[in-house]
Amino acid sequence: MAQAPGASPQDLLERGRAEYASGSYADAVKDLQAAADAIINPDQMRAYVDRGKFDTLPQFETAVVYLAMSYAKLGREADAREQVQRLAAAESIAPTYANLALGTDRNDFENLRSRLSGPATLPPAPVAAAPQPAPTPTPAPGTSLTPEQQRELDQRIAQARAEFEKEADARIAAAKAEIERQAEERIAAERAAIEKQTQQQIAAIRAAAAQEVTKTAAPTIRRAEGLAIAGDVNEANAMYVRLLDTPNPSRDLVSSLAIGFYRTGDYNDALRAFERLGTFARGEEDLRYYKAVALYETGHYPEAKKELECALPFIEMTDDVNRYREKIEQMP
Protein backbone atom coordinates (compact mmCIF):
# COMPACT_ATOMS: atom_id res chain seq x y z
CA MET A 1 0.00 0.00 0.00
CA ALA A 2 1.50 3.35 -1.03
CA GLN A 3 1.97 5.89 1.73
CA ALA A 4 -0.63 8.66 1.50
CA PRO A 5 0.88 12.14 1.05
CA GLY A 6 1.03 13.97 4.36
CA ALA A 7 0.15 10.90 6.45
CA SER A 8 1.06 11.47 10.09
CA PRO A 9 3.13 8.95 12.09
CA GLN A 10 -0.02 8.05 14.07
CA ASP A 11 -1.96 7.42 10.84
CA LEU A 12 0.84 5.19 9.55
CA LEU A 13 0.97 3.31 12.86
CA GLU A 14 -2.79 2.66 12.94
CA ARG A 15 -2.82 1.60 9.30
CA GLY A 16 0.13 -0.73 9.87
CA ARG A 17 -1.64 -2.39 12.81
CA ALA A 18 -4.77 -2.84 10.74
CA GLU A 19 -2.74 -4.39 7.91
CA TYR A 20 -1.06 -6.75 10.35
CA ALA A 21 -4.45 -7.79 11.74
CA SER A 22 -5.75 -8.47 8.22
CA GLY A 23 -2.69 -10.51 7.24
CA SER A 24 -1.21 -7.92 4.84
CA TYR A 25 2.21 -8.28 6.40
CA ALA A 26 4.29 -6.77 3.56
CA ASP A 27 2.12 -3.63 3.54
CA ALA A 28 2.29 -3.54 7.33
CA VAL A 29 6.10 -3.56 7.18
CA LYS A 30 6.13 -0.53 4.86
CA ASP A 31 3.75 1.58 6.94
CA LEU A 32 5.14 0.56 10.32
CA GLN A 33 8.74 1.24 9.22
CA ALA A 34 7.66 4.63 7.86
CA ALA A 35 5.89 5.38 11.16
CA ALA A 36 8.97 4.44 13.22
CA ASP A 37 11.27 6.53 11.02
CA ALA A 38 8.91 9.52 11.20
CA ILE A 39 8.69 9.30 15.00
CA ILE A 40 12.49 9.12 15.45
CA ASN A 41 13.22 12.40 13.69
CA PRO A 42 16.05 14.89 14.36
CA ASP A 43 13.73 17.36 16.13
CA GLN A 44 12.49 14.67 18.52
CA MET A 45 16.02 13.48 19.25
CA ARG A 46 17.22 17.03 19.91
CA ALA A 47 14.29 17.52 22.28
CA TYR A 48 15.26 14.32 24.07
CA VAL A 49 18.89 15.41 24.38
CA ASP A 50 17.87 18.91 25.58
CA ARG A 51 14.96 18.02 27.91
CA GLY A 52 15.45 14.34 28.66
CA LYS A 53 11.87 13.60 27.48
CA PHE A 54 10.75 11.38 24.61
CA ASP A 55 7.04 12.10 24.29
CA THR A 56 6.44 9.77 21.34
CA LEU A 57 8.25 6.77 22.82
CA PRO A 58 5.00 4.72 23.27
CA GLN A 59 4.09 5.15 19.58
CA PHE A 60 7.63 4.21 18.53
CA GLU A 61 7.71 1.07 20.66
CA THR A 62 4.25 0.05 19.42
CA ALA A 63 5.43 0.42 15.81
CA VAL A 64 8.54 -1.67 16.55
CA VAL A 65 6.49 -4.44 18.23
CA TYR A 66 4.16 -4.84 15.24
CA LEU A 67 7.06 -4.44 12.82
CA ALA A 68 8.85 -7.37 14.49
CA MET A 69 5.74 -9.56 14.31
CA SER A 70 5.15 -8.60 10.65
CA TYR A 71 8.73 -9.53 9.74
CA ALA A 72 8.31 -12.83 11.57
CA LYS A 73 5.13 -13.59 9.62
CA LEU A 74 7.10 -12.99 6.40
CA GLY A 75 9.81 -15.39 7.58
CA ARG A 76 12.38 -12.59 7.93
CA GLU A 77 13.59 -13.54 11.39
CA ALA A 78 16.84 -11.55 11.24
CA ASP A 79 14.82 -8.38 10.63
CA ALA A 80 12.39 -9.39 13.38
CA ARG A 81 15.28 -9.91 15.81
CA GLU A 82 16.64 -6.45 14.93
CA GLN A 83 13.29 -4.89 15.88
CA VAL A 84 13.32 -6.72 19.22
CA GLN A 85 16.77 -5.24 19.83
CA ARG A 86 15.50 -1.78 18.88
CA LEU A 87 12.74 -2.17 21.42
CA ALA A 88 15.26 -3.10 24.10
CA ALA A 89 17.29 0.01 23.22
CA ALA A 90 14.14 2.17 23.39
CA GLU A 91 13.40 0.79 26.83
CA SER A 92 16.76 2.16 27.99
CA ILE A 93 15.34 5.66 27.50
CA ALA A 94 12.29 5.05 29.68
CA PRO A 95 10.50 1.78 30.57
CA THR A 96 7.39 1.97 28.39
CA TYR A 97 6.72 -1.46 26.94
CA ALA A 98 4.85 -2.79 30.00
CA ASN A 99 2.14 -0.13 29.58
CA LEU A 100 1.60 -0.41 25.81
CA ALA A 101 -2.00 -1.15 24.76
CA LEU A 102 -1.26 -4.31 22.76
CA GLY A 103 -4.25 -6.41 23.77
CA THR A 104 -4.02 -10.07 22.89
CA ASP A 105 -1.13 -9.33 20.53
CA ARG A 106 1.12 -9.02 23.57
CA ASN A 107 1.17 -12.80 24.01
CA ASP A 108 2.16 -13.28 20.35
CA PHE A 109 4.99 -10.80 20.72
CA GLU A 110 6.15 -12.32 24.00
CA ASN A 111 6.34 -15.73 22.32
CA LEU A 112 8.26 -14.23 19.38
CA ARG A 113 10.61 -12.36 21.69
CA SER A 114 11.33 -15.43 23.78
CA ARG A 115 12.03 -17.48 20.66
CA LEU A 116 14.36 -14.90 19.12
CA SER A 117 16.29 -13.52 22.06
CA GLY A 118 15.25 -15.14 25.32
CA PRO A 119 13.00 -13.79 28.04
CA ALA A 120 15.50 -11.36 29.60
CA THR A 121 15.60 -8.82 26.74
CA LEU A 122 12.70 -6.66 27.97
CA PRO A 123 10.97 -6.06 31.28
CA PRO A 124 7.82 -8.16 31.47
CA ALA A 125 4.30 -6.82 31.16
CA PRO A 126 2.66 -5.95 34.48
CA VAL A 127 1.35 -9.03 36.27
CA ALA A 128 -0.16 -9.62 39.63
CA ALA A 129 2.35 -9.83 42.42
CA ALA A 130 3.31 -13.38 43.31
CA PRO A 131 1.76 -14.42 46.61
CA GLN A 132 4.16 -14.42 49.50
CA PRO A 133 4.68 -17.78 51.10
CA ALA A 134 2.43 -18.18 54.07
CA PRO A 135 4.21 -18.26 57.39
CA THR A 136 4.81 -21.71 58.66
CA PRO A 137 2.09 -22.45 61.15
CA THR A 138 3.04 -23.49 64.60
CA PRO A 139 2.48 -27.19 64.86
CA ALA A 140 -0.70 -28.06 66.64
CA PRO A 141 -0.63 -30.39 69.57
CA GLY A 142 0.11 -33.86 68.38
CA THR A 143 2.26 -32.69 65.32
CA SER A 144 5.15 -34.84 64.26
CA LEU A 145 7.69 -31.90 64.36
CA THR A 146 9.58 -31.35 67.54
CA PRO A 147 10.38 -27.74 68.61
CA GLU A 148 13.97 -28.25 67.46
CA GLN A 149 12.81 -29.50 64.05
CA GLN A 150 10.42 -26.55 63.75
CA ARG A 151 13.24 -24.09 64.46
CA GLU A 152 15.42 -25.76 61.84
CA LEU A 153 12.59 -25.52 59.28
CA ASP A 154 12.04 -21.85 60.05
CA GLN A 155 15.77 -21.18 59.62
CA ARG A 156 15.80 -22.92 56.23
CA ILE A 157 12.82 -20.88 55.04
CA ALA A 158 14.44 -17.63 56.22
CA GLN A 159 17.73 -18.53 54.51
CA ALA A 160 15.98 -19.39 51.22
CA ARG A 161 14.06 -16.09 51.33
CA ALA A 162 17.27 -14.12 51.99
CA GLU A 163 19.07 -15.84 49.09
CA PHE A 164 16.14 -15.15 46.78
CA GLU A 165 16.07 -11.47 47.74
CA LYS A 166 19.85 -11.21 47.26
CA GLU A 167 19.63 -12.73 43.78
CA ALA A 168 16.72 -10.44 42.87
CA ASP A 169 18.67 -7.36 44.04
CA ALA A 170 21.68 -8.42 41.95
CA ARG A 171 19.53 -8.87 38.83
CA ILE A 172 17.88 -5.49 39.35
CA ALA A 173 21.26 -3.78 39.78
CA ALA A 174 22.63 -5.45 36.62
CA ALA A 175 19.54 -4.48 34.60
CA LYS A 176 19.76 -0.89 35.84
CA ALA A 177 23.46 -0.67 34.93
CA GLU A 178 22.76 -2.00 31.44
CA ILE A 179 19.92 0.47 30.92
CA GLU A 180 22.15 3.35 32.03
CA ARG A 181 24.94 2.18 29.72
CA GLN A 182 22.65 1.98 26.72
CA ALA A 183 21.18 5.40 27.53
CA GLU A 184 24.66 6.94 27.74
CA GLU A 185 25.66 5.37 24.42
CA ARG A 186 22.47 6.64 22.78
CA ILE A 187 22.97 10.16 24.12
CA ALA A 188 26.65 10.14 23.08
CA ALA A 189 25.67 9.05 19.56
CA GLU A 190 23.06 11.79 19.30
CA ARG A 191 25.49 14.41 20.55
CA ALA A 192 28.08 13.25 18.03
CA ALA A 193 25.50 13.50 15.23
CA ILE A 194 24.53 17.02 16.30
CA GLU A 195 28.20 18.03 16.54
CA LYS A 196 28.85 16.65 13.06
CA GLN A 197 25.87 18.53 11.66
CA THR A 198 27.05 21.73 13.35
CA GLN A 199 30.55 21.35 11.91
CA GLN A 200 29.09 20.78 8.45
CA GLN A 201 27.03 23.96 8.77
CA ILE A 202 30.10 25.92 9.89
CA ALA A 203 32.11 24.54 6.96
CA ALA A 204 29.33 25.54 4.56
CA ILE A 205 29.27 29.08 5.97
CA ARG A 206 33.04 29.36 5.67
CA ALA A 207 32.96 28.06 2.10
CA ALA A 208 30.28 30.62 1.19
CA ALA A 209 32.37 33.37 2.79
CA ALA A 210 35.45 32.24 0.86
CA GLN A 211 33.48 32.31 -2.39
CA GLU A 212 32.31 35.84 -1.63
CA VAL A 213 35.91 36.92 -0.93
CA THR A 214 37.08 35.36 -4.18
CA LYS A 215 34.28 37.10 -6.11
CA THR A 216 35.29 40.54 -4.84
CA ALA A 217 39.06 39.89 -4.76
CA ALA A 218 39.78 40.33 -8.48
CA PRO A 219 38.61 43.99 -8.65
CA THR A 220 40.52 44.71 -5.42
CA ILE A 221 43.75 43.20 -6.80
CA ARG A 222 43.40 45.19 -10.03
CA ARG A 223 42.93 48.37 -8.02
CA ALA A 224 46.00 47.56 -5.89
CA GLU A 225 48.06 46.93 -9.01
CA GLY A 226 46.98 50.31 -10.36
CA LEU A 227 47.97 52.00 -7.10
CA ALA A 228 51.38 50.31 -7.22
CA ILE A 229 51.93 51.47 -10.81
CA ALA A 230 50.90 54.98 -9.76
CA GLY A 231 53.52 54.92 -7.00
CA ASP A 232 51.22 54.41 -3.98
CA VAL A 233 52.95 51.18 -2.94
CA ASN A 234 51.96 51.40 0.73
CA GLU A 235 48.23 51.53 -0.02
CA ALA A 236 48.61 48.73 -2.58
CA ASN A 237 50.35 46.54 -0.01
CA ALA A 238 47.70 47.38 2.60
CA MET A 239 44.99 46.14 0.22
CA TYR A 240 46.98 42.96 -0.44
CA VAL A 241 47.38 42.37 3.31
CA ARG A 242 43.64 42.75 3.96
CA LEU A 243 42.92 40.11 1.33
CA LEU A 244 45.63 37.77 2.64
CA ASP A 245 44.20 37.97 6.19
CA THR A 246 40.68 36.95 5.17
CA PRO A 247 39.67 33.45 6.36
CA ASN A 248 40.07 30.56 3.91
CA PRO A 249 41.22 32.42 0.78
CA SER A 250 41.51 30.29 -2.35
CA ARG A 251 44.89 29.09 -3.62
CA ASP A 252 44.58 31.21 -6.76
CA LEU A 253 43.94 34.30 -4.66
CA VAL A 254 46.94 33.62 -2.39
CA SER A 255 49.14 33.06 -5.46
CA SER A 256 48.06 36.42 -6.91
CA LEU A 257 48.77 38.15 -3.59
CA ALA A 258 52.23 36.56 -3.33
CA ILE A 259 53.08 37.87 -6.80
CA GLY A 260 51.67 41.29 -5.88
CA PHE A 261 53.87 41.53 -2.78
CA TYR A 262 56.87 40.36 -4.81
CA ARG A 263 56.33 43.09 -7.39
CA THR A 264 56.00 45.83 -4.77
CA GLY A 265 59.08 44.59 -2.92
CA ASP A 266 57.17 43.59 0.24
CA TYR A 267 59.16 40.39 0.62
CA ASN A 268 58.12 39.63 4.21
CA ASP A 269 54.43 39.58 3.31
CA ALA A 270 55.30 37.71 0.12
CA LEU A 271 56.82 34.97 2.29
CA ARG A 272 53.64 34.94 4.42
CA ALA A 273 51.63 34.33 1.28
CA PHE A 274 54.02 31.61 0.07
CA GLU A 275 53.76 29.88 3.47
CA ARG A 276 49.98 29.77 3.08
CA LEU A 277 50.42 28.16 -0.32
CA GLY A 278 52.38 25.28 1.20
CA THR A 279 53.82 22.69 -1.21
CA PHE A 280 54.25 23.81 -4.81
CA ALA A 281 52.72 21.76 -7.62
CA ARG A 282 54.15 21.09 -11.05
CA GLY A 283 53.65 24.17 -13.19
CA GLU A 284 54.21 26.55 -10.27
CA GLU A 285 57.99 26.85 -10.71
CA ASP A 286 57.65 30.61 -11.38
CA LEU A 287 56.14 30.97 -7.90
CA ARG A 288 59.04 28.96 -6.55
CA TYR A 289 61.48 31.42 -8.15
CA TYR A 290 59.61 34.38 -6.62
CA LYS A 291 59.84 32.70 -3.24
CA ALA A 292 63.59 32.16 -3.71
CA VAL A 293 64.01 35.89 -4.36
CA ALA A 294 61.87 36.77 -1.31
CA LEU A 295 63.96 34.43 0.84
CA TYR A 296 67.18 35.99 -0.46
CA GLU A 297 65.95 39.54 0.14
CA THR A 298 64.98 38.66 3.72
CA GLY A 299 68.33 36.99 4.51
CA HIS A 300 67.29 33.32 4.28
CA TYR A 301 70.11 32.29 1.97
CA PRO A 302 70.17 28.46 2.33
CA GLU A 303 66.42 28.27 1.78
CA ALA A 304 66.72 30.63 -1.19
CA LYS A 305 69.33 28.37 -2.80
CA LYS A 306 67.13 25.31 -2.37
CA GLU A 307 64.07 26.94 -3.93
CA LEU A 308 66.13 28.40 -6.80
CA GLU A 309 67.68 25.01 -7.65
CA CYS A 310 64.20 23.51 -7.92
CA ALA A 311 62.88 26.34 -10.09
CA LEU A 312 65.75 27.01 -12.55
CA PRO A 313 65.30 23.93 -14.81
CA PHE A 314 61.71 24.95 -15.57
CA ILE A 315 61.73 28.75 -15.96
CA GLU A 316 62.94 31.13 -18.67
CA MET A 317 66.47 32.47 -18.08
CA THR A 318 65.88 36.22 -18.27
CA ASP A 319 68.35 38.91 -17.21
CA ASP A 320 66.59 39.26 -13.86
CA VAL A 321 66.72 35.51 -13.29
CA ASN A 322 70.45 35.38 -14.12
CA ARG A 323 71.16 38.34 -11.87
CA TYR A 324 69.43 36.77 -8.87
CA ARG A 325 70.95 33.37 -9.67
CA GLU A 326 74.44 34.88 -9.40
CA LYS A 327 73.56 36.68 -6.17
CA ILE A 328 72.01 33.67 -4.50
CA GLU A 329 74.66 31.20 -5.58
CA GLN A 330 77.39 33.46 -4.14
CA MET A 331 75.83 33.37 -0.69
CA PRO A 332 77.39 31.01 1.88
Please write the tens of the pLDDT for every residue from 3-34.
555 689 999 999 999 999 999 999 999 999 99
What is the rounded distance in angstroms from the CA atom of residue 36 to the CA atom of residue 67? 9
Number of neighbouring beta carbons within 10 Å of residue 131:
6
Burial 182-219 (b: 16+ CB within 10 A, else e): bbeebeeeeeeeeeeeeeeeeeeeeeeebeebbeebee
Exposed / middle / buried, residue 274 (Cβ in 10 Å: 0-12, 13-18, 19+): buried
Please report the pLDDT score of residue 205 as a whole number: 63
Q: Using one digit for the tens of pLDDT, what is the confidence trace for 105-146?
A: 999 999 999 998 755 445 555 444 445 554 444 444 444 678
Residue 1, domain member (yes or no): no
- Specify whether 217 is located in the same domain as 107: no
Angle (CA) 16 17 21, round 5° = 115
The residue out of 117, 144, 178 marking a domain boundary is 117
Mean pLDDT by 10 residues, the chain (332 residues): 67 96 96 92 73 85 96 96 92 92 95 79 49 49 68 81 76 85 89 87 65 74 90 93 92 94 95 94 93 95 94 92 93 86
**Looking at the structure, do residues 219 and 111 belong to the same domain, yes or no?**
no
What is the per-residue pLDDT for 140?
A: 43
Domain region containing 73: 9-117
Residue at a domain's end among 53, 85, 117: 117
Does residue 193 lie within any of the structural domains? no
**Which of 117, 145, 177 marks a domain boundary?**
117
In a domain, 198, yes or no: no
Number of domains in the chain: 2
User: What's the CATH code of the domain at 288?
Assistant: 1.25.40.10
Q: What is the model's pLDDT at position 122?
A: 55
Cα torsion at 2, 6, 11, 16 (round to 10°)?
20
